[in-house]
Amino acid sequence: MSTRTPLIAGNWKMFKTCSEAVSTAAALVKSAADVSGRDVLIAPPYTALYPVSEVLAGSRVSLGAQNLFWEKEGAFTGEISAAMLASAGCRYVIIGHSERRQYFNETDETVNRRIQAALKGALIPVFCVGESEQARDSGQTFSVLDKQIKNGLKSFFAKDLEKLVIAYEPVWAIGTGKTASSRQAQEVHEFLRSLLDKSLGRELADSIRILYGGSVKPDNIAELMGMPDIDGALVGGASLNADTFSAIVHY
Ligand code: PEP
């Protein structure tokens, strides 16, 4: 039996003004009040982090950001540091989301620097990996993931990564309505855990939470969560509505 606490995370992407974010967060706090034995997290856009942190204070729902920059401070217009996120109430930060890799040229190397900065700043990274449709169709899923994990976690020791969360998000399943089957997702999660075992040791591999992301909905979450190596979900579209996200949280 796994001792890993499930984590259900909502990625709000570039949606919601401050007032929309506050009212969705307030509704979620209410509906998640009875949840136990699992962690819940929402990642609103930067502008809404602080107002949402006030709504989440003392609740069961944690706050995360969707990215960060690795420098502490300086002339980096438009960027935001780990300390700034922590001061806005964040506990987690999503790093290496496929939309960042695809539209903003993030690479395994910059993802690695962001993970370093997050850990230094006492934030918990939610490190995203996932293969494209083309990679899956050409049988390269495992080699792509191997490279993303090895490069993203380069130079870390197991002791640095105790809190790390990994999110497996097949790019072809994000926002497309196509979910990986629970069997496909389990196969990859098992592979990721074996990679962690080889490079960082069994203890870490057994304790790290690996989330699945890609068109998770209230009607597919229970089956996914029934898989032995799936420890939660990173939810995009279906996290924007408090009732829908709450149904996922209560799987
Ligand atoms: C995501 O944004 O990480 C995601 C998985 O999106 P969706 O649930 O909409 O596929």
**pLDDT, averaged in runs of 10, over the chain (251 residues):** 90 98 98 96 98 97 98 98 98 98 97 98 98 95 98 96 97 89 96 97 97 96 97 98 98 96
Cβ–ligand 1 distance for 175 under 6 Å, the answer: yes
Q: What is the pLDDT at residue 178?
A: 85
Question: Residue 152's pLDDT is what?
Answer: 98
CA dist., res. 25 & res. 21, Å (int): 6
User: Given this model, what pLDDT does residue 249 score?
Assistant: 98
pLDDT of residue 71: 98
Give how far Cα 219 sits from Cα of 60, 121, 183, 222, Å: 23, 37, 16, 7
Three-state DSSP class for 202? helix
Q: Report the atom number in ligand 1 closest to the C-alpha of 97.
A: 3
Q: What is the pTM of this model?
A: 0.97
- Amino acid 9: pLDDT: 98
E strand spans, the chain: 7-11, 39-43, 61-65, 92-95, 124-129, 165-168, 209-213, 232-235
71 among known catalytic residues: no
Q: Cα(235) to centroid of ligand 1, in Å?
A: 5
Q: How far apart are CA 169 and CA 55, in angstroms?
A: 29
